[in-house]
């Protein structure tokens, strides 16, 4: 099957504008990924498509850039002692299964409701998940920020789940928790399914790790990179099997995103716990708004509504720009906090002892 697909696909010519655009989006996406464990991918796919890259190539190339980025980020954050490899790998394997399930659901919807129905489903999931989870994370971040004194060790739900002993129990040393595999698997599956649907599994994976499994936001976002690596590698092999990966696009995005991911990982060592949640929630909520603007287009296609074409086109454009805005906002918060914390640390600890 892979032969004919490749022949039909069109690979774009690279112009300076294209290269610059991909490099910058890559950098910002990488920065966010390094910091919150995922993200950036949701802008890249529509971004590439706006450059004229066919949908499948955009998705495949995005996937192919995701796993090396996650790998580099995970290695960097492992050096800071934030990654629970075992947690990441187990989650990653089940997330991979989740991806396959997600694809099957997608295909079923595509068959029954057609392309527009599928798009509507994706956007609907997008808005639903992002608003609910994003809202919850934001509430938690604000509470943590306002709370004086010692922050609670782990959320109530996670604590309760950790006490339930059902074989097989898994112990995660870096994350410092012990939980039954039966609670881990649903989170992993959901992560994979979301990744298959909206390309960013981390929006479920990281909050899931924090609130259901009970990892700290630092460990959760760092281990999410391992999950993203496993999922990305699996996905890439499948896409590459069909010859849809444009290695040039991948390499240009990687050129920028590896700079970003390093910086994002460095950023996590400076900020407080709630900051990761805060950045994540901010991005999720803004992206939810963006997807909301995309819905009328699909409703129109399904002939549920009859809006004027021009206004639908405008909304689609707004949707894309709002998404870029989400990423930029996240990146700005990260950078500002990183450099602020750095200068403050320098001021507080002027020189090594005895100097």
Partner 1 sequence: MEPKKMEKIQEHIPAETTSADLGVQVKKISYILVVTRNGHMSEPVMEYAVNVADRLQYNIIAAHINTLPFYRDGGRRSGLFASAMQESALLFREKAEARGVQVKHIGDAGKIGNVVKRLCSSEKRIEFIVIDQGIRKEEVVSQSPVPVFSVIYTEKKAGLRNKATHYKSVEKGAIRMSITSKKRHLRNCFTFGILTAAVYAAVFLNQELVMAYFTKGGIYALLPVAVVFMVSYAHGNFTSSFWSALGIEGSKSTTTKPADIRKKATDVPVVKKDVRPRAEVNV
The residues binding partner 1 (CB under 8 A) are 2-3, 5-6, 9, 11, 64-65, 67-69, 71-72, 75-76, 79-81, 233, 236-237, 240-248, 250-251, 254-255, 258-259, 261-263, 265-266, 269-272, 341-342, 344-345, 347-349, 352-355
d(CA 355, CA 350): 9
Which residue number, 206 or 265, has a Cβ lying nearer to partner 1?
Answer: 265
What's the closest the beta carbon of residue 27 comes to partner 1, in angstroms? 10
Going by C-alpha positions, the residue among 162, 155, 175, 29 that lies closest to residue 88 is: 175
**Burial of residue 8 (number of CB atoms within 10 Å: 0-12, 13-18, 19+):** exposed
What's the closest the beta carbon of residue 66 comes to partner 1, in angstroms? 10
Q: Where are the alpha helices (DSSP H) in the chain?
A: 2-8, 16-36, 41-50, 55-79, 85-146, 156-163, 181-198, 202-207, 217-241, 247-268, 273-301, 309-348
**Burial of residue 84 (number of CB atoms within 10 Å: 0-12, 13-18, 19+):** buried
What's the closest the beta carbon of residue 259 comes to partner 1, in angstroms? 5
Which residue number, 80 or 321, has a Cβ lying nearer to partner 1?
Answer: 80
Structure tokens at 39: 């993200």
Which residue number, 103 or 251, has a Cβ lying nearer to partner 1?
Answer: 251
Say which residue the tokens 């995922």 belong to.
38
- The CA angle 233-234-238, to the nearest 5 degrees, is 115
What's the closest the beta carbon of residue 273 comes to partner 1, in angstroms? 9
Which residue number, 175 or 285, has a Cβ lying nearer to partner 1?
Answer: 175
Structure tokens at 220: 């959760």
d(CA 183, CA 261): 30
What's the closest the beta carbon of residue 80 comes to partner 1, in angstroms? 5
Which residue number, 11 or 325, has a Cβ lying nearer to partner 1?
Answer: 11
What's the closest the beta carbon of residue 255 comes to partner 1, in angstroms? 7
Structure tokens at 90: 């187990």
Which residue number, 85 or 105, has a Cβ lying nearer to partner 1?
Answer: 85
Phi, psi of 354 (to 5 degrees): 90, -5
What's the closest the beta carbon of residue 221 comes to partner 1, in angstroms? 14
Which residue number, 6 or 104, has a Cβ lying nearer to partner 1?
Answer: 6
């Amino acid at each position: 099957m892979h032969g004919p697909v490749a022949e039909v696909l069109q690979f774009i010519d690279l112009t300076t504008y294209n290269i610059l655009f991909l490099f910058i989006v890559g950098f910002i996406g990488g920065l966010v990924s390094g910091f919150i464990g995922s993200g950036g991918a949701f802008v890249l796919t529509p971004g590439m498509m706006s450059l004229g890259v066919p949908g499948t190539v955009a998705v495949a190339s995005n996937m192919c850039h995701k796993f090396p980025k996650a790998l580099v980020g995970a290695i960097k954050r492992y050096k800071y002692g934030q990654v629970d490899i075992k947690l990441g790998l187990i989650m990653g394997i089940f997330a991979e299964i989740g991806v396959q399930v997600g694809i099957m659901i997608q295909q079923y919807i595509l068959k029954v409701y057609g392309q527009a129905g599928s798009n509507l489903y994706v956007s609907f999931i997008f808005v639903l998940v992002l608003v609910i989870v994003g809202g919850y994370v934001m509430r938690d971040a604000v509470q943590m920020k306002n709370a004086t004194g010692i922050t609670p060790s782990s959320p109530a739900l996670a604590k309760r789940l950790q006490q339930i002993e059902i074989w097989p129990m898994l112990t995660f040393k870096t994350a410092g928790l012990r939980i039954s595999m039966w609670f881990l698997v649903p989170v992993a599956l959901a992560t994979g399914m979301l990744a298959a649907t909206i390309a960013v599994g981390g929006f479920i994976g990281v909050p899931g790790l924090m609130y259901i499994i009970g990892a700290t936001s630092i460990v959760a976002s760092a281990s999410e990179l391992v999950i993203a690596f496993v999922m990305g590698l699996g996905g890439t092999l499948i896409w590459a099997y069909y010859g849809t990966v444009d290695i040039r696009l991948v390499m240009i995005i990687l050129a920028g995103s590896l700079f970003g991911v390093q910086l994002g990982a460095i950023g996590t060592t400076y900020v407080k716990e709630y900051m990761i949640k805060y950045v994540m929630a901010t991005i999720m909520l803004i992206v939810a708004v963006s997807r909301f603007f995309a819905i009328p287009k699909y409703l129109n296609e399904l002939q549920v509504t009859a809006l004027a074409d021009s206004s639908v086109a405008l909304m689609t454009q707004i949707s894309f720009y709002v998404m870029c805005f989400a990423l930029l906002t996240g990146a700005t918060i990260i950078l500002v906090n990183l450099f602020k914390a750095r200068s403050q640390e320098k001021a507080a600890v002027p020189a090594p002892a005895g100097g």
